[in-house]
């Protein structure tokens, strides 16, 4: 009798879950929590895909910014949120695969603690210097650092960001630069423009305003081939720094662990539909971003491989967990 009751209860729960997934989303906005400051790339990514995703889902995508602890506060909130299909984390590289390796502990599990949805876009990193610095390539920058160890400042939009880790890594490879962290892409871009820092490894989108002027110079890219926007700038591999390889500040979407798989698959499908739209592709391309739209399984596997890669970079940089 107990076995029959358990089977009946299981059937009821399964039916309820299926009905819920079919009805989702029902008369309620869907929250995308951005663990960085307001006005950054998390909002930009959401704003670009929303015009296609919202009509198909019949609900608004609401971006809520909750910065702090290099993204750990926002990530932790979503990891602990109700797995009801209305809570999602839209986060960059450092939240998933860098912060866990430079802190002794984080209050969320970046790989198995979420239901991963999709890697939305990738933003390749470039190497940029203040125009007053007499270097035109990464090779020349390395020679300048070796001749002036510790005299250059390398900026970043915050500790644990790819710009921070790669700046420290490149500096250590060539004699040392002083890392200066800022609170976001806008202030560090301004710092490069005014020569408070001389070197930066940003995305194109993060430094777009400065690139329109004459105060900064692109000297390299961390891409497979030269970027069409900067044909004179050699890749890191071309310049002899295969250790840097290819690197970007990618953005992905995840939900609390336990979120119905049908909801995860539907959201991933709608993101792919949005990224297939030519106008959406162009908007991302115009700010130096490459559309991806991976499946949930592909994104989960990508996070695992990227975590191992960035762990190795952090260890070689010598940054110890704080």
Phi, psi of 87 (to 5 degrees): -125, 120
For 29-122+250-317, the fitting CATH number among 3.40.50.12780, 3.40.50.2300, 3.40.710.10, 3.40.190.150 is 3.40.190.150
pLDDT number for residue 322:
65
Question: Are β-strands 178-181 and 30-34 bridged in parallel, bridged antiparallel, or unpaired?
Answer: unpaired
- Longest C-alpha distance within the chain, in Å? 83
CB 272 within 8 A of CB 121: no
Is the peptide bond between 236 and the residue preceding it cis, with omega within 30 degrees of 0?
A: no
Q: Is 122 helix (H, G, I), strand (E, B) or coil?
A: strand
Tell me the HSE value of 195 on the side-chain side, using a 13 A CA sphere.
7
Where helices occur in the chain by DSSP H, the ranges are 2-23, 41-57, 72-79, 93, 99-102, 138-147, 162-173, 185-193, 208-211, 261-275, 278-285, 296-317
**Short-list 273, 251, 312, 265, CA closest to 44:** 251
CATH domain 126-221 topology: D-Maltodextrin-Binding Protein; domain 2 (3.40.190)
pLDDT number for residue 23:
85
pLDDT number for residue 243:
83
pLDDT number for residue 288:
86
pLDDT number for residue 10:
43
- Cα 207 from chain centroid? 15
pLDDT number for residue 277:
96
Q: Which residues contact 270 (CB under 8 A, 6 or more apart)?
A: 52, 53, 56, 57
Examine domains 29-122+250-317 and 126-221 and report if their fold is the same: yes
Domain chopping of the chain, boundaries: 29-122+250-317, 126-221
**Short-list 216, 159, 150, 166, CA closest to 189:** 216
Question: Are β-strands 153-156 and 30-34 bridged in parallel, bridged antiparallel, or unpaired?
Answer: unpaired
Q: Which residues of the chain have pLDDT under 70?
A: 1-22, 321-322
Question: What count of other Cβ atoms lies within 10 Å of the Cβ of residue 318?
Answer: 9
Q: Is 144 helix (H, G, I), strand (E, B) or coil?
A: helix
CB 104 within 8 A of CB 321: yes
């Amino acid at each position: 009798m107990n076995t029959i009751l358990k089977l009946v209860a299981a059937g009821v729960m399964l039916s309820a879950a299926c009905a819920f997934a079919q009805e989702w989303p029902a008369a309620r906005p869907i929250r995308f929590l951005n663990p960085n400051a307001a006005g950054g790339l998390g909002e930009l990514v959401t704003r670009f895909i929303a015009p296609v995703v919202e009509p198909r889902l019949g609900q608004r995508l609401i971006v809520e910014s909750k910065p702090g602890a290099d993204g750990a506060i926002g990530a932790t909130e979503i990891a602990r949120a109700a797995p009801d299909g209305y809570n999602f984390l839209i986060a960059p590289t450092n939240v998933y695969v860098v912060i866990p390796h430079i802190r002794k502990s984080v209050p969320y599990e970046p790989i198995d603690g979420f239901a991963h949805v999709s890697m939305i876009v990738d933003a390749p990193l470039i190497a940029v210097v203040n125009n007053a610095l007499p270097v035109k390539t990464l090779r020349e920058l390395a020679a300048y650092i070796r001749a002036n160890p510790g005299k250059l400042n390398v900026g970043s939009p915050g500790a644990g960001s790819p710009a921070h880790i790669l700046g420290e890594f490149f500096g250590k490879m060539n004699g040392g630069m002083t890392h200066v962290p800022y609170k976001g892409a806008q202030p560090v871009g301004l710092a490069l423009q005014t020569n408070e820092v001389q070197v930066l490894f940003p995305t194109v989108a993060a430094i777009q305003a400065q690139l329109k002027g004459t105060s900064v110079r692109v000297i390299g890219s961390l891409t497979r081939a030269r970027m069409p926007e900067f044909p004179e700038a050699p890749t890191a591999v071309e310049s002899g720094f295969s250790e840097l390889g290819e690197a970007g500040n990618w953005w992905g979407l995840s939900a609390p662990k336990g979120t119905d798989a049908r909801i995860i698959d539907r959201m991933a499908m709608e993101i792919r539909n949005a990224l297939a739209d030519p106008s959406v592709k162009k908007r991302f391309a115009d700010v130096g971003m490459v559309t991806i739209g991976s499946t949930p399984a592909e994104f989960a596997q990508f996070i695992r491989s990227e975590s191992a890669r960035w762990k190795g970079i952090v260890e070689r940089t010598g940054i110890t967990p704080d």
